[in-house]
A and B are shown apart, each in its own frame.
Chain A
């Protein structure tokens, strides 16, 4: 396992991080092909996550190759996360009926508006890489109207489990049939990460995501954030003054 890992790491170091240069099928011997059935259970593979030496940046996200719904093969960390504000979640097209996480995030994307693709990026990794091909992910993204800046990606089972193990701490296999999950969000430039439940209200989610974006020292008078006047309209989940 360790030998395999080192071989993979060297391979990754040896290639450019530019988008589209690396196709999964050209991977070196020993590298699992994205979309192929796993050779070992993910929980066993995630065991060595911490020994692999492939954790990147201030928040130590594992570097893995992903295929995007737009047909690119990218480095998850270097191309999609590094120095960015991002959200990251797992989904599967088949499970969307039972657990419409992408539908919820679509509302969040609308609230983020023009920030999406510039100040913040969304990454949705399929937990069903065998069925969710880049082509199917593209069709899915188009169907829900996912705007630019939202990347639907798939990795190998092994890499997917490794990223999952980093986010959830345990050797957790991304469950393609889950009905309970978190959306991780963070500012990779600062090293500030957190998670919110996938089922929270979109306006709540958008507020939380925007709270980790880089800010500027405020000039001018202090603003009263709250409490808002009793009975005044505002979100049901807080007592903040609306639209300050």
Chain B
């Protein structure tokens, strides 16, 4: 990748279109020869989803979550349940209700009858939280899902815990996998809205919330439990006309669009199907509910759908004016990995600007023609449509081919790729007050003198089990006790030859020191604050991080949530100084 500034300097900008597509095809993808599990036929091959005409429905843009008066909370928030509550007194209060409902993924039959889904306040993805640093918030989440055996989503568990990924919040508000709440119960979350260590270089901006229930995260998120959580600060202020000279003035308002990608498999009734459970509604029995029949589709490798959805709509279109847009692209999983391009008429790659990795603003913008977006990765890109004309069609296109069993990439780039959504250019030239500064948010300095420990975590596959350092997740076992206020260096290794693992650690962002023994280039998006590692087969990644501000338990896990549900996770705790191990 090249920085935007250097691209402009050497005059590449005008000639990027098309050229990048060829260079991308020549790129090597880290993987090796892959072996399919015996006899496995993935669901999307055995029983493909019904047809759905692409690009006939508009993009669903989620409404913003609306605060309620504190008096709406009964009982009132209890400060004794939250660390540092009085230091970060909530200024806004929210109530979210988790429910089951029919969601229309597409207007064509059979999808038009609605797919039984989980969601928040009647929609999936849930409402987008718009938060500002310095304005702590309090969210009460009520589980109104139908109890086991009474619901219409056959594969998900109506017991949930909601994690704001990767919020800097106390353990008890983090959505710890074991902190589940069942139908008829609620959980209170306190989000203190301050950057790690009060360091303004640690502001995060594009976060998301999702279910994190032990053993059931994959089907629960797949069923609909995901949404965006955006955070703004003085510089990433959410105002493209901001007069503050420090403000970045990225495209804002309706020009700042969150896009969450989920690939979904449907049965012939338009109901979402989950491969692993094998619980597969089929037509002909019990109208509206479906019967169940033989199904030879299930996997613990990963779950692939054959319908690409954006904000839970199958292949939508989105009308864009001739100006810059900020798209916050999130891979919501469950298992598919993307290499995303913007293509013109489905062919030539169009350059765009990356401004963040994992939701964190980069030190400087990077101009490129593609971004790798693994599960839970967020990347904010700015696409400039000003040089296109009304009637032009551009596509968000994935070119990364997956193994059919969902475990990782196949090693090939697709020639044409999957067109995930379409951008329809409309209207004439418009005034565009937004901008992309040459310098963005510097990285916080790494103080190696603070490094207290080095740890190594090996992700592997052992006779059918997904392991970390040869063990399976036990939420009662502390795999790493990290002393508050210290830094550590972690080595994350993939000992598998076939598996790809997006590895996510909670609470604090880290900076990658080395990838397979080599330092990260300044012009690489990996030169950033991150919380999800793209760990390909055989890869080893070393990172530096610090742990501050709260005590308690958190987790690191594979964010191929099928692997996570099969216990590829560790618990780590922040402990008082002197009590680490």
Contact = CB atoms under 8 A, between A and B. Distances in A.
A171 B467 CA distance: 18
A189 B184 CA distance: 22
Contact of B38 (A60, A171, A215, A224): A171
A31 B187 CA distance: 54
Interface stretch (B11-19, B292-300, B481-489, B541-549): B292-300
A208 B471 CA distance: 19
Contacts of B301: 169
A204 B150 contact: no
A195 interface: yes
Given A59-B277, A223-B186, 14 more contacts: A170-B38, A172-B464, A182-B566, A192-B154, A200-B475, A214-B149, A215-B183, A217-B147, A223-B184, A226-B172, A226-B188, A227-B81, A229-B80, A244-B185
Contact of B41 (A50, A178, A181, A237): A50
Interface string A161-177: 00011001111100100
Contacts of A114: none
Given A182-B566, A197-B474, A169 B216 contact: no
Contacts of A13: none
Interface of B: 37-41, 75, 78, 80-83, 142-143, 146-150, 154-155, 157-159, 171-173, 176, 178-188, 214-216, 276-280, 292, 294-296, 298-301, 462-465, 467, 470-476, 552-553, 565-567
The 4 closest A-B pairs by CB, nearest first: A215-B147, A218-B184, A191-B279, A168-B464
Given A168-B465, A197-B472, A216-B147, A230 B81 contact: yes
A223 B157 CA distance: 19
B75 A224 contact: yes
B284 to A, nearest CB: 15
Given A215-B148, A229-B80, A197 B157 contact: no
A47 interface: yes
Nearest to B552: A239
Contacts of A53: 294
Query: Could you say which of A182, A191, A200, A226 has the most chain B C-beta atoms within 10 Å of its C-beta?
Result: A226
A46 interface: yes
A194 interface: yes
Contacts of B462: 180
A46 B463 CA distance: 14
Nearest to B186: A222
Contacts of A239: 171-172, 176, 179, 552
6 contacts: A169-B464, A190-B149, A191-B279, A204-B474, A224-B185, A226-B187
Contacts of B188: 224, 226-227
B277 A191 contact: yes
Contacts of A213: 148
A43 B334 CA distance: 29
Nearest to B177: A238
A48 interface: yes
Interface residues of A, number: 65
Interface in A180-221: 180-182, 187, 189-197, 199-201, 204, 208, 211-218, 220
Contacts of A218: 147, 183-184
- Majority-rule SS of A interface residues: loop
- Majority-rule SS of B interface residues: loop
Contact of A180 (B40, B75, B300, B471): B471
A21 interface: no
A217 B146 contact: yes
B565 A222 contact: no
Given A170-B464, A227-B188, A193 B149 contact: no
A222 B142 contact: yes
A195 B566 contact: yes
Contacts of A182: 465, 472, 566-567
A12 interface: no
A171 B80 CA distance: 51
A24 interface: no
Contact of B476 (A180, A204, A217): A204
A60 B296 contact: yes
A225 interface: yes
Given A222-B142, A225-B181, A237-B475, A58 B215 contact: no
A193 B300 CA distance: 12
B214 A208 contact: yes
Given A238-B178, A238-B179, A227 B186 contact: no
A50 B142 CA distance: 41
Query: Could you say which of B149, B158, B188 has the most chain A C-beta atoms within 10 Å of its C-beta?
Result: B149
A233 B307 CA distance: 47
Contacts of B39: 47-51
A80 interface: no
Given A48-B39, A170-B38, A170-B464, A191 B176 contact: no
Query: Could you say which of A168, A190, A213 has the most chain B C-beta atoms within 10 Å of its C-beta?
Result: A190
A30 interface: no
A53 B277 CA distance: 17
A110 to B, nearest CB: 17
B273 to A, nearest CB: 11
A217 B150 contact: yes
Contacts of B296: 50, 55, 60
A229 B184 contact: no
Contact of A217 (B38, B155, B183): B183
A225 B186 contact: yes
A190 B154 contact: yes
A236 interface: yes
A201 B571 CA distance: 14
A148 to B, nearest CB: 24
A192 B155 contact: yes
A228 interface: yes
Contacts of A130: none
A238 B215 contact: no
Contacts of B183: 215, 217-218
B472 A60 contact: no
A212 B176 CA distance: 19
Given A211-B182, A215-B183, A199 B172 contact: no
A60 B154 CA distance: 14
Given A191-B154, A194-B565, A58 B463 contact: no
Contacts of A192: 148, 154-155, 157, 277, 279
